[in-house]
Each structure stands twice: as C-alpha cells, then as structure tokens.
Amino acid sequence: MTGRARVEALVASARQVADGASELGRRARAVLVESTGLSPENVEWSLCAALETSPSGAELAALLASVTPARAAHVILPANVFVAAHRAIALALAASAVVRVRSSRREPHFARLLLEGAPGLFELVDELAPERGDHVFAYGSDTTLAAVHSGLPPGTTLHAHGPGFGIAVVDAPHANEEAARALALDIAAFDQRGCLSPRVAFVLGDRAAAPRFAALLAEALAAHARRVPLGRLDDAERADHARFRDTSIYAGPLLPAGPGLVCVTEGVALIAPAGRNLCVVPAEELAGVLAEVDVSLVTAVGVAGADALARNIARVLPRARLSELGRMQRPAFDGPADRRGAPASV
C-alpha cells in the first residue's frame, strides 16, 4: 500500500467508529465515556464533529508532504484528547508501512477501535523499540518527551509535541453573542484539555467591550453545559479550578459560567485551567496580546474580527493554528495539529 492508501484506510476505519449505528460506533460510545471522563454528549460531539472522517484530497496531500519516509514509525499517543490518536497514527502511516503504537494507559480504547476497523494496518504494543532510521511521534509533557529523547538510539528522528494552549482574539466590534457561542463551543470540547483548547481571550480596542463579552461568554458556557454537560474532573483538575477561582477574585470580576468560571483581568492574562474556564483580557492592540502570553506555548488562535486582524496574527504567530471561533478544535487534516516544533535527529 502507498502512504496515501494507508492513511485512507485509517480514515475509513474512523468513519466506522464515528457512525453510531455501526458495531464499532456503539462500542466506542460505551467505552470512551468511562476512559475519557467526558460526558456522553461530549463523546458524541467529538466523534461526529471533531474526528476527521472526510478530509479533502488537498488535506491528504499536505499531510503526506508533512512527513518524510521512514523504515518504521513509532507513536506514543496523547491521553487528553482521544480523537488526536487518529491524526497521530495517520502521520506515522504516511511515513511508513511499519507502524507501532503505544496507547495511553489512561485511554487505551480508541486506538484499538481504529485497528479493529482496519486490521493489520498498524500494531499496538506495550513498549516501543525504535532502531536507527526510525521515526518516533511522541505526545506528552516536557518531562515525558525528555525521557523519550534520552532513550532513543542514535540515528532516529523524534517528532515531539509538548504542552501548549489556545488563545482567542476578538476585536471589539465582533465581541457579540455569536462570537461568545462559538468560543463556548471551543472551550467545552474535550472539557478544555487539549493543546488547541482556548485558555485566555483578548478583546481588542474598546476596553469596555471586555467585561460585556465576558458576560456573554459566561451565559453561552452555561447554556452549552445544559446541552453538553461537563464530565469528570480528577483531583488535580479540581485543585487547579480552585486556585484559578481564588486568584481570579483578586484579579478582577469573576462570573459563574455553568460548571466553569469566566474572569476579567486588567494587565495580566491568567491561563485558565481545564474544566471550562476562561480569562478575558482587554488589550489596546495585538502587540499587547503578545506581551501577555508565552508565544512559544500558543498552539492555536481563534479569531473574531476583520480579515486584516487574521493576517496580522498569522504574521506574528506563523506556527500557530489559525481559525475562526468555533473551529479551533477542528483543524484541517493536513499535518500535525501542533505546528510549533520540527523533527529532531537524535
């Protein structure tokens, strides 16, 4: 099989998993609620809206061009966003006919479901043993990636995808109910655990627009939670939520937003934790946004504004995924979702 044929076979399997009427689709919905902690409604949205089941020919061509051929490809899957396994395995299949995948212990089911839909396309393993000439696609914390790098033999290539987060940039004339509803969707997807999830929003121009937009966003998040409830948070996430609440009280107005919180701050951008929280910050211009965040950690930018604003963001943050609000969690299937890094030879 060619690289394209292998990727297309994986996409066909993903379509089976996304189909709630199929045997794989029914089983996916049963097991993923337990392993991910997401609500059934969030799992359903993820499978139907965020899983890439119909990429265009141009997207497939770009994905294939984003990797180089390898003797074998090895994948260490992420745990925070279960559908991310699809893209990670697709990149490995684009690079090699020999693909070995180590699933996350926290969420081992999705890769297994993809393999059931395309038997023999890749191999699931407990441990990876790459050799010279192999490529390793790894996702995780800085600590995890450092350990992976130190354990690789000379002559291998590491594609490392570490921590990151999304931001939203909204100019004041577009800080309306439509933008708030779209941003609420981006926040609620996967309960805000992914590297594409927005954690802070900047409202440009009229400083009075920021608290108005925060109020609209809090209402939109509460309404969305009635349709797609928040799932299970672990102890660390609950502790992060409590710290965010306690810090936000001193930073500016704090609004309940269904199960989460929206705060408004002046002069400081608090990076909100997972669990459907957000910090809204007024900024005079785009330069003020860049001064408030570590741009090396910005994976995605959601934009509501004129075309000129999007062009300026693309210029100053060329490696960040750029999309309109409401599409941050659904990037084109054209290569790695995280474009910040480059493959590194060991």
Q: Is 63 in contact with 333 (CB distance < 8 Å)? A: yes
pLDDT tens per residue across all 346 residues of the chain: 999 999 999 999 999 999 999 999 999 999 999 999 999 999 999 999 999 999 999 999 999 999 999 999 999 998 899 999 999 999 999 999 999 999 998 899 999 999 999 999 999 999 999 999 999 999 999 999 999 999 999 999 999 999 999 999 999 999 999 999 999 999 999 999 999 999 999 999 999 999 999 999 999 999 999 999 999 999 999 999 999 999 998 888 999 999 999 999 987 899 999 999 999 999 998 888 888 899 999 999 999 999 999 999 999 999 999 999 999 999 999 999 999 988 888 8
Please tell me whether residues 245 and 151 are part of one structural domain: no
Please tell me whether residues 75 and 216 are part of one structural domain: no
Please tell me whether residues 60 and 182 are part of one structural domain: no
Asked which of 162, 187, 215 is the last residue of a domain, the reply is 162
Q: What are phi and psi of 170, to 5 degrees?
A: -130, 125
Note the pLDDT of residue 79.
83
Asked which of 162, 197, 217 is the last residue of a domain, the reply is 162
Note the pLDDT of residue 175.
98
Please tell me whether residues 143 and 203 are part of one structural domain: no
Q: Report the b/e string of 25-59 with b at 16+ CB within 10 A.
A: beebeebbbebbbbbeebbbbbbeebbbbebeeeb
Please tell me whether residues 30 and 136 are part of one structural domain: yes
The CATH number for 255's domain is 3.40.309.10
Please tell me whether residues 29 and 157 are part of one structural domain: yes
Give the residue from 168, 174, 175, 159 showing the smallest Cα distance to 278.
168
Q: Is 73 in contact with 99 (CB distance < 8 Å)? A: yes
Note the pLDDT of residue 130.
96
Secondary structure, 3-state, 252-296: CCEEEECCEEEEECCCCCCCCCCCCCEEEEEECCHHHHHHHCCHH
Q: How many CA atoms lie within 13 A of 295 on its CB side?
A: 14
Q: Could you tell me the residue range of the domain that residue 221 belongs to?
A: 165-324
In a domain, 338, yes or no: no
Asked which of 117, 132, 162 is the last residue of a domain, the reply is 162
Please tell me whether residues 37 and 60 are part of one structural domain: yes
In a domain, 340, yes or no: no
Note the pLDDT of residue 341.
81
In a domain, 332, yes or no: no
In a domain, 91, yes or no: yes
Rounded Cα distance, 57 and 40, in Å: 32
Note the pLDDT of residue 289.
85
Q: How many domains does the chain have?
A: 2
In a domain, 294, yes or no: yes
In a domain, 79, yes or no: yes
Q: What are phi and psi of 341, to 5 degrees?
A: -95, 175
Please tell me whether residues 19 and 149 are part of one structural domain: yes
Please tell me whether residues 60 and 74 are part of one structural domain: yes
Taking the model in full, what pTM does it have?
A: 0.95
In a domain, 334, yes or no: no
User: What stretch of H or E contains 330?
Assistant: none
CB atoms within 10 A of CB 260: 28
Q: What are phi and psi of 191, to 5 degrees?
A: 55, 35
The CATH number for 153's domain is 3.40.605.10
Please tell me whether residues 157 and 299 are part of one structural domain: no
In a domain, 339, yes or no: no
Please tell me whether residues 320 and 178 are part of one structural domain: yes
Please tell me whether residues 67 and 155 are part of one structural domain: yes
